[in-house]
Amino acid sequence: MEHIHLTDVQYSWQPGQLTIDIPELVIERHSRVFIKGPSGCGKTTLLGLLGGIMLPNQGSINLLGTDVAKLSSIQRDHFRSEHIGFIFQMFNLLPYLSVVDNIILPCRFSKQRKQKALAEYASLPKAAMSLLAQLGLNQTDLHQRKVTELSIGQQQRVAAARALIGHPELIIADEPTSALDTDAREGFLKLLFDVCEKAGATLLFVSHDGTLEHLFSNTLDMRLINKASQVTTSEVA
Ligand SMILES: Nc1ncnc2c1ncn2[C@@H]1O[C@H](COP(=O)(O)OP(=O)(O)OP(=O)(O)O)[C@@H](O)[C@H]1O
């Protein structure tokens, strides 16, 4: 089933210079998509458009049947917190909150995600701890610690659990494994896939690490879909 449909989407950071020029892009529900392309080809910009963080100059960005490009800024914030979980390269965890409080944060902004988490678990902390265990972090003594006291690999699992709590339909991950060594990357990805599959989420994953590509069901090469990167990227023949 179709999950994401972009039509004639253009975006420029600077007037007269297109960063994104995508005539059409369709992503099916439940797919695990590896987004690749050379530095500067617009991967992060595309994720920002999909997440409703920026608005395109033109075109429609249909997510789950809603054109996010037509929503007001407040409506986009609401749509994002209800339907999208983000995992960033630097994790963006809140340093003054505990592990568990970081994970349940999206449920403070999204009624739907809170309800979904509570339909499955007796409390939000229980939902958070179960997700952490599924992602391979079983040390219960860590749960009330501040995230700054965790290793990078542990912080990454906290960031993934925060993105996944309350089953958002779309998980957007921008270089979330770049701080890990190769073995840890694959191990983490397999756990992430398992949780996404159980939750029925679609995963969009940006990485420079081509060794991970074979683990995904689909590859999206920006040089093939983004006319702007075909013009500006020197690596294109
Ligand atoms: N906040 C911004 N303001 C102005 N220009 C920007 C901004 N963010 C990105 N750009 C420009 O948009 C283009 C695409 O950047 P983007 O970060 O989307 O590429 P990318 O493919 O994710 O690169 P990388 O792989 O290096 O992270 C680049 O030319 C970049 O300079």
Q: What pLDDT, in 10s, does the model give residues 150-193?
A: 988 889 889 999 999 999 999 999 988 877 777 778 888 888 89
Going from the C-alpha of 110 to that of each of 55, 119, 168, the distances in angstroms are 22, 14, 10
233 band by pLDDT with thresholds 50, 70 and 90? very low
Q: State the total domains in the chain.
A: 1
> DSSP string of 50-98?
HTTSS--SEEEEEETTEEGGGS-HHHHHHHHHHHEEEE-TT----TTSB
Assigned token pair, 236: 């294109």
For residue 32, tell me if it sits in a domain. yes
Quick one: tokens of 6? 């972009």
Owner of token pair 């610690």: 145
pLDDT classification of 3: cutoffs 50, 70, 90: confident
Q: Is the pLDDT of residue 1 over 70?
A: no
Please tell me the distance between residue 51's alpha carbon and the centre of ligand 1 in angstroms. Answer: 16
What confidence tens digit (pLDDT) does each residue in 35-67 have? 999 999 999 999 999 988 899 999 999 999 999
Tell which residue, 9, 17, 19, 4, has the closest CA to residue 57.
Answer: 9
For the segment 100-159, what is each residue's pLDDT rounded down to a tens digit? Answer: 999 999 999 999 999 999 999 999 999 999 999 888 888 777 888 888 889 888 898 899
- d(CA 67, CA 57) in angstroms, rounded, equals 14
Decide if 237 is inside a domain. no
| Structure tokens belonging to residue 51 | 């997440």
Phi-psi region of 91 (alpha: psi -120 to 50; beta: other; left: phi over 0): left
- Which CATH number fits the domain that encloses residue 50? 3.40.50.300
Dihedral (Cα; 41, 45, 47, 50), 10-degree rounding: -120
| Alpha carbon distance 62, 107 (integer Å) | 24
User: What number of H helices and E strands is found in the chain?
Assistant: 9, 9
CA 42 to ligand 1 centroid distance, Å: 6
Instruction: State the chain's maximal CA–CA distance in angstroms.
Output: 56
Q: Is the CB of 31 under 6 A from ligand 1?
A: no
Structural contact between residues 93 and 147, judged by C-beta atoms closer than 8 angstroms:
yes
Query: Residue 232 pLDDT > 80, yes or no?
Result: no
Q: Which domain holds residue 91?
A: 2-232
**Which pLDDT score, from 0 to 100, does residue 231 have?**
61
Residue 80 CA to ligand 1 center (angstroms) comes to 21
177 backbone dihedrals φ, ψ, rounded to 5°: -110, 5
Contact by Cβ (8 Å): 69, 47: no
> 40 in ligand 1 pocket by Cβ < 6 Å?
yes
CA 131 to CA 197: how far, in whole Å?
13
Q: Is 229 a pocket residue for ligand 1 (Cβ < 6 Å)?
A: no
pTM over 0.80: yes
